[in-house]
Amino acid sequence: MNRWWVYQRERFPIFAHGMLIAAFSVSAMGFSSLLRKQTHLPPIAALAAGFASSLLFFLQLRITDEFKDQEDDARYRPYRPVPRGLVTLRELGVVGLGAAVIQLALALLVYPRLVIVLVGVWAYLALMTREFFVSRWLKRHPVVYMATHMLIMPCIDFYVTAFDWLVAGGGPPRGLAWFLSVSFFNGTVVEIGRKIRSPHDEEHGVETYSFLWGTRGASLAWLTAIALTAISSLFAATHIDFLTTDAIVLATLVLIAVVLAARYMQEPTTARAKAIEQMSGAWTLCMYLSLG
């Protein structure tokens, strides 16, 4: 059991991830409810099941990464749990399948028609695991690679919102697409932000965005993702009459992001790169809380 605790601490910190995923799932269901002109959240059972399903999806994403990256990890990152023998891919595969069984059980308990949407998300996740059968091509095109992998975010989001609108007996409410856009670009913000490093911290064989595009290019890409998230968020907010509040939150956060990016471009130290990664998480958390 201790080795699994070490694994989660290193690769899937449950408490740090849990807070963000809770905001993600509750916001998704809350936003869907507001679009349907409801003034209360879905039932606690639906909220809990949506959160648990989201958490398990993100765990499955981590596990699929372990499978996809096994060769690179063995070559360039032998300190990670799988190459150093802490856990095996077979064991992780069993955990991933167990998570799927729990997701299926939750869907059947809450509303059996949720299974249809769940299978759709699983299908996309399976394609991601196989790199859409064009692994080499995708790795030569990092922007396309990132975009195809970030699409899993709105897929998960769509499933979680279904715990509201589908259970209520309707279809996807008007305006939901903007929230799904927010989740796509939020994922992009986090993905770029966690792969911006100081030149001194770059590792041989590890393709970070700061390595691929340089400190300036990676910073501008991160700010572009921030801007696209903000635009999507404003459009989403208009559908629930949250525009003024959302605009104030966005203006404050965008200003902070610009300052952090400028400081990193000026002097790309470890601390300043870490500040961008931390801001990515804070940005995502605030985006979801401001909309749901």
**For the chain, where do the domains classified as CATH 1.20.120 start and end?**
174-292
Counts for the chain of helices (H) and strands (E), in that order: 13, 0
In the 8-state DSSP scheme, what is residue 61?
H
Query: Which pLDDT band, with edges at 50, 70 and 90, does 241 fall under?
Result: very high
233, 182 in Cβ contact below 8 A? yes
Q: Quote the CA–CA distance of 14 and 54 in Å, as a whole number.
A: 12
56, 106 in Cβ contact below 8 A? no
Strand ranges for the chain from DSSP E? none
Position 48 pLDDT exceeds 80: yes
**For the chain, where do the domains classified as CATH 1.10.357.140 start and end?**
1-169
Class of domain 1-169: mainly alpha
Q: Does the pTM of the predicted model rise above 0.85? A: yes
Compute the mean pLDDT over every residue in the chain, rounded to the nearest whole number.
95
Most confident residue range from 33-47, 50-64, 198-212:
50-64
Amino acid at 169: G
Q: Which residue has the tokens 């997701």?
A: 103
Position 145 pLDDT exceeds 80: yes
Q: Quote the CA–CA distance of 147 and 144 in Å, as a whole number.
A: 5
Summarised one tens digit per residue, pLDDT across range 186-221 is 999 999 999 999 999 999 888 899 999 999 999 999
Q: Quote the CA–CA distance of 222 and 182 in Å, as a whole number.
A: 14
CATH number of 174-292: 1.20.120
- pLDDT reported for residue 243: 94
Q: What angle do CA 19, 286, 238 make, to 5 degrees?
A: 130
Position 109 pLDDT exceeds 80: yes
Question: How many other CB atoms are found less than 10 A from the CB of residue 267?
Answer: 10
Q: How far is CA 142 from CA 137, 155, 215, 273, in A?
A: 9, 21, 16, 20
Q: Quote the CA–CA distance of 132 and 138 in Å, as a whole number.
A: 9
Token code pair at residue 117: 């949407």
